[in-house]
Amino acid sequence: MLSIILQIIDMKNDLPKRFKNENINVLFHVFYNVLPPLALIVAVVFWLLISPKIKWARYDNLNIQRHLIQHLFQIIFILIDWYLINVPTSLNHAYPMVGIGMIYIVFVHIYHALYGKWIYKFLSRRNKYWFVIYIFVITFWIVLGVVFTKFQMKKYENRIKDVKKK
């Protein structure tokens, strides 16, 4: 929320654009390129696949509000923030998104090894087509990372053109 307020205040480009510590800049770029597509995936999966199966009558208002905050407001604020912030991007910024996807697959296997349950049952290696599913999931992460980065690059180029026109 603070980021959104600062971006609105900074429409005249008066606020400093970079941190003095380069590691923080790199971390900022990683978060900036990873969080919006991940938040979008979480929102789409929850509202299209999980939400229809939830028996909402069994939930009290607090639980319903928690779901709205976690799966609806979160994506709204992240996408507003993403739209307002203009960070230079190159195709190399797709690597963190792909890396996070691979790390998540490893995490899912560690979780299964520790607790004996699959976070997503379709990732179980007992599934007859597990190899094809894993190829699809890895391909999806790569394509998502590249498409989002390309989209971000186009947004950045358009903003730069708009600033130069003024």
46's tokens: 């929850």
Following DSSP, what letter does each residue of 20-47 receive, concatenated? SSHHHHHHHHHHHHHHHHHHHHHHHHII
**Residue 157 reports pLDDT greater than 60:** yes
Q: Are 81 and 7 in contact (CB under 8 A)?
A: yes
Higher pLDDT, 127 or 13: 127
Distance between CA atoms of residues 36 and 93, nearest Å: 13
Is the per-residue pLDDT at 77 higher than 70? yes
Domain ranges of the chain: 1-87, 89-165
For residue 115, pLDDT beyond 90: yes
Whether the model clears a pTM of 0.85, i.e. scores above it, the answer is: no
Q: Structure tokens of 9?
A: 């205040």
Summarize pLDDT for 1-39 with one digit per residue, the tens.
565 565 565 555 554 555 666 777 777 777 888 888 888
Mean of pLDDT values over 37-61:
84
pLDDT at position 113 over 90 = yes
CB atoms within 10 A of CB 78: 20
Alpha-carbon span 101 to 99, nearest angstrom: 5
Q: How confident is the model at residue 122, as a pLDDT?
A: 80
Average pLDDT, integer, range 136-156? 88
Res 92: pLDDT: 84
Write down the pLDDT at residue 104: 86
Q: Which residue has the higher pLDDT, 88 or 142?
A: 142
Q: How confident is the model at residue 107 (pLDDT cuts 50, 70, 90)?
A: very high
Tell me the pLDDT tens digit for each residue of 53-73: 888 888 888 888 888 888 888
Closest CA to 75 of 99, 44, 119, 54: 44
- Between CA 75 and CA 123 the distance in angstroms is 25
Mean pLDDT of 102-119: 91
The share of the chain scoring above pLDDT 90, in percent, equals 9
